[in-house]
Amino acid sequence: MADNDKALGRLRTGIDGLDNITSGGVPLNNQVLIAGGPGCGKTLLSMQIAYNSAKNGIPASFITLEETQAEVLENFKTAFSEFNDIDDLVSKKMLVLAGDETASKIQGGNDSQSYAFSSVLSDIEDILKINGSKCVVIDSISLLKLMLGDLLTYRKSMFALSTNMKRMGVTGFLTMELHSTNRQGMSFSPEFFIFDGTLIMYQNIEENKRVYGMEVLKMRGSDHSLSVAPYEITKRGFKVFTISDI
């Protein structure tokens, strides 16, 4: 991390345009929700943030709860063919891919809700210790919502997750599925209030064409853009268009 970034207390995502609409990056130790409907690119965006962090010398972890680690890596390589150094970052443990065992505990459903979630928190802490991660992705917390069942238990658990991540001194990005891909159909849920930041990814249909857009709904401790920014997914990664690009 550059000295200037440390002074500002921010983690830069390294994604064109995204650092602009977050006024220079995400405040350190913030826990940021990345929410969107299917096909918006939540997993790819969060994976690129972890990749960029590792490439910039900041240890990162990507914890997958729905796909296997091999599937996440293969999908990333296929989408972003120009990022040809990811295997090297993984082998050097600058970027840790994990979560298969944790996911199996969640999907097993044999333990009590509280015991199972405590085990998940313990697994996350163990994963972060592998390389001393300071940037962490959990993809996705939607599976935890299914595991925990009732809304009150889920809300308390998400608060515990956020608090635990802060205690470990990490900046976190947690993906979540939305039922709607467009802005008009969005509804708020407990996660929007618990986590420090919320980034929403949309897919709208305009003239029979799919149009992507993202919006920083909130970011505690930071100014941010109030506009919906168009974005593209290219083989070189995400490109978020700001006012200066249009």
Structural domain boundaries, residue 214: 3-245
Q: What is the pTM of this model?
A: 0.90
Tell me the backbone φ, ψ of residue 162, rounded to 5 degrees: -60, -45
Q: Using 50, 70 and 90 to split pLDDT, how confident is the model at 190? A: confident
SS3 of residue 221 by DSSP = coil
Q: Total structural domains in the chain?
A: 1
Instruction: Count CA atoms closer than 13 A to 208's CA, side-chain side.
Output: 0
Q: Kindly provide the residue ranges of all beta strands, DSSP E only, lying in 65-177, ordered along the sequence.
A: 95-98, 135-139, 171-177
Q: Does 245 score more than 60 pLDDT?
A: no
Residues 6-28 have a mean pLDDT of 89
Q: Using 50, 70 and 90 to split pLDDT, how confident is the model at 112? A: low
* 83-92, 142-151, 191-200, 231-240: range with lowest mean pLDDT: 142-151
- Specify the amino acid at residue 120: V
Instruction: Count CA atoms closer than 13 A to 210's CA, side-chain side.
Output: 13
Cβ burial of 96 (10 Å; 0-12, 13-18, 19+) is buried
What letter would DSSP give residue 80?
-
Q: Using 50, 70 and 90 to split pLDDT, how confident is the model at 111? A: low
SS3 of residue 73 by DSSP = helix
Please report the pLDDT score of residue 149 as a whole number: 76
Please report the pLDDT score of residue 95 as a whole number: 98
Please report the pLDDT score of residue 116 as a whole number: 78
Residues 136-150 have a mean pLDDT of 87
Residues 168-191 have a mean pLDDT of 80
**44-70 per-position pLDDT tens digit:** 999 999 999 999 999 999 999 988 999
Q: Which residues of 132-145 are buried (b: 16+ CB within 10 A; e: fewer)?
A: ebbbbbbbbbbbbb
Q: Using 50, 70 and 90 to split pLDDT, how confident is the model at 186? A: low
Mention every residue, 6+ apart, whose C-beta is less than 8 A from residue 7. Answer: none
Instruction: Select the more confidently predicted residue: 103 or 30.
Output: 30
* Chain position carrying tokens 């238990």: 153
Report the CATH number at residue 87.
Answer: 3.40.50.300
> pLDDT over 70 for what percent of the chain?
88
Measured CA to CA, the distance from residue 168 to residue 85 in angstroms comes to: 28
SS3 of residue 188 by DSSP = coil
**Run of H or E residues at 144:** helix 142-148
**194-215 per-position pLDDT tens digit:** 999 999 999 887 777 889 999 9
Q: Does 246 score more than 80 pLDDT?
A: no
Residue 122: how many other CB atoms lie within 10 Å: 12
Residue 71: how many other CB atoms lie within 10 Å: 12
> pLDDT over 90 for what percent of the chain?
67
